[in-house]
Homo-oligomer: A and B are copies of this chain.
Amino acid sequence: MATAHPGNEPNPGMIFETLLAFQRTAALRAAIELDVFRAIGEGPGDVASLAKHCSASERGIRILCDYLTVIGLLTKEGERYHHTATSGLFLDPRSPACVASISRFLGNPAMTEPVQHLADIVRTGHTTLHGQGSVEPENPVWVDFAHSMAPMMAPMTAPLGQIVLEGLAGPVRVLDIAAGHGLFGIEVAKQHPQAHIVAVDWAPVLEVAKANAHKAGVGARYHALPGSAFDVDFGEAYDIVLLTNFLHHFDHAACVGLLRKVHAALKPGGRAAALEFVPNEDRVSPPMPAMFSMSMLTTTASGDAYTFRELEAMYREAGFGRITAHPVRTGPHTVVMGIAG
């Protein structure tokens, strides 16, 4: 029959579990919404007290918490549920590292609805969303992104700041394109007291970034430049341009066009740094960057998770040299940096 490729034993359970994997997403989203992870952290963790804390039924809580235990997001001892290392640090709202808010952005209908039409999307090759999809002008989803994805990105800001600032002294002008929550530019301002940040994004998104800059004490060196990165006048003589989580929304030609514009805004020797999910050249590893292209297929017209070789080619076509990759140890992302020739 069908030529089986050498590998593991055939496993029909894997098919069953994949066809029900949508329950995993639903279980985690429901647990976050019901405040289960705070209740677990506060203890004692039995079904009756959890149900009370969450204003929920005991049957529902028991089945939900058993399910979360099976998928590795809780543990169970006797009749009591406890945090795993992951849920305690990243899902309990009492933890400063809590990333539960990302459930809101990743569960936003603009992100999830197109996936329901995946066969159609594979047929046509682009999102069922209107026009450019999630990157249509002024899409309100990015205000949500700015609010809810910040905790996921926070651990990556310090490494990015160190990479882009390495060896720089004196006044530094930084352009932060598609600033979103603003955390990357803000971190550069925190690491370098003579850095001034110009942040580009849609005006309502920049309100979030400005508020974060003021909270971080760098508001005086933080300047908003509202508009589309493709249309707005960047100004010039920047030392650093940040392009965080941005290029993956567009095709090769659009990325090259934008990188040319970035190149023109940099001083000679200036640095353009993209933070991206960068899969290996095989495009199927490591898992997180490789799987990210599915999000780009479903929500954009022509975006992708680009390999280093593809990003390098874009930079080169736009006039950059000395293009290097810097994997970020604190997250699944890679910084790809080019120097303006």
Contact = CB atoms under 8 A, between A and B. Distances in A.
A84 B124 CA distance: 27
A64 B30 contact: no
25 contacts: A1-B89, A1-B96, A2-B88, A3-B83, A4-B85, A5-B75, A6-B85, A7-B75, A7-B84, A10-B88, A12-B86, A12-B90, A14-B73, A16-B332, A20-B295, A22-B24, A34-B122, A55-B123, A56-B123, A57-B126, A66-B290, A67-B291, A67-B294, A70-B284, A70-B290
Interface of A: 1-30, 33-34, 37, 41, 43, 54-64, 66-67, 69-73, 75-76, 82-92, 94-97, 99, 102-103, 106-107, 112, 115-116, 118-119, 121-126, 152, 155, 282-285, 287-288, 290-291, 293-298, 302, 304, 331-332
A76 B19 CA distance: 22
A52 to B, nearest CB: 12
Given A5-B85, A20-B295, A83-B4, A14 B72 contact: yes
A102 B19 CA distance: 9
A70 B9 CA distance: 17
A19 to B, nearest CB: 4
Contacts of A126: 57, 59
A15 B86 contact: yes
A123 B57 contact: yes
Contacts of A37: 2
A28 B172 CA distance: 49
A24 B21 contact: yes
B70 A22 contact: no
Contacts of A4: 83-85, 88-89
Contacts of A54: 122-123
Contacts of A61: 122
B14 A70 contact: no
Contacts of A295: 20, 23
Contacts of A103: 19
Given A9-B85, A99-B15, A23 B123 contact: no
Contact of A22 (B69, B72, B115): B115
Contacts of A12: 86, 90, 99, 152, 155, 331
The 10 closest A-B pairs by CB, nearest first: A57-B125, A60-B122, A2-B92, A2-B41, A30-B118, A2-B88, A4-B88, A21-B24, A22-B22, A30-B119
Contacts of A57: 122-126
Contacts of A58: 125
Contacts of A72: 14
Given A15-B99, A27-B294, 6 more contacts: A8-B84, A11-B85, A16-B102, A63-B122, A64-B122, A70-B285
A26 B73 CA distance: 22
A90 to B, nearest CB: 5
A258 to B, nearest CB: 20
Contacts of A59: 125-126, 297, 302, 304
Given A25-B22, A294-B67, A84 B5 contact: yes
Nearest to A151: B12
